[in-house]
Structure 1
Amino acid sequence: MGTVHLAQFRAERNANSLLGRIRSAAGGDQLALVQALILDHALTAAEFSANDFRDQLPDLPHGLLGAAVRGLAASRTITATGRTVPSTSPATHGHRITVYRLTAAADDLASAA
């Protein structure tokens, strides 16, 4: 049982390290613009995945969209619904991606703006 937790910890650490390198390579402005697009879309959709706005984005450094989504999830601005859908990105060969929704706190911020 301890091995499973250690393996999960290592996988998360590696993923976070990779996302950190992606964020550094892309620059804060580009990451912020992608996150703004995600949030703009989320305000008009009850649930969403990266499939919903991938076509609206210019060519991005590999992994930046995932880093943007993961950053919003880590800050609890968006939350996973527990559902997944097949990715429409040809590069992913249809692997499953998470469906998200805005959190109540993010929804309150949007209505106050």
Structure 2
Amino acid sequence: MMGTLHEFRAERSANRLLDRIRSAADREQLALVQALILDHALTVPDFSANDFRERLPADLPHGLLGAAVRGLASSRAITNTGRTVPSTSPDTHGHRIAVYRISALRAEAEVA
């Protein structure tokens, strides 16, 4: 099913913003956050960004967690389940965020 033009533009705008966050962030920070996500993903069936907020340093650049999740999803290391949950971040006012799981191929590679 194809989304509306408005949805397409919103997604494209979000992707550009996340690309800017990724390029501005320290590569080491981004790699550490992604490693934390993958490590967690191997221990639970499903997860969202809510699972990581309190475990990350307070001085982490704003938006880096979302950029890390989106990068892992783009590389197919994690897969969107199609479900959403309310965000626990006070800044987001409870908007819905995606629930993910580790991709089967990635999980098999980690176990092997």
Q: TM-score, normalised by structure 2?
A: 0.90
Q: Give the structure 2 partner of residue 42 of structure 1.
A: 41
Q: Give the structure 2 partner of residue 23 of structure 1.
A: 22
What is the number of equivalent residue pairs in this alignment? 110
> What is the distance in 1 between the residues matched to 2:81 and 2:47?
9
Unaligned stretches of 5+ residues in structure 2: none
Which 4+ runs in 1 deviate beyond 6 A?
none
Q: Is the alpha carbon distance of 1:10 and 1:73 closer, same or farther for their aligned partners in structure 2, counting shifts above 3 Å?
A: same
Deviations 1:73-107 (A, max 9, x none): 01111111111111111111111111100111110
Unaligned stretches of 5+ residues in structure 1: none
> What is the distance in 1 between the residues matched to 2:73 and 2:80?
8
Matches within 5 A, 1:7-18: 7-18=6-17
> What value does the CA root-mean-square deviation take over the aligned residues?
1.7
Q: Give the structure 2 partner of residue 62 of structure 1.
A: 62
The structure where helix makes up a greater share of residues is: 1
Deviations 1:16-71 (A, max 9, x none): 21111101111211111000000011110000011112110002111100000000
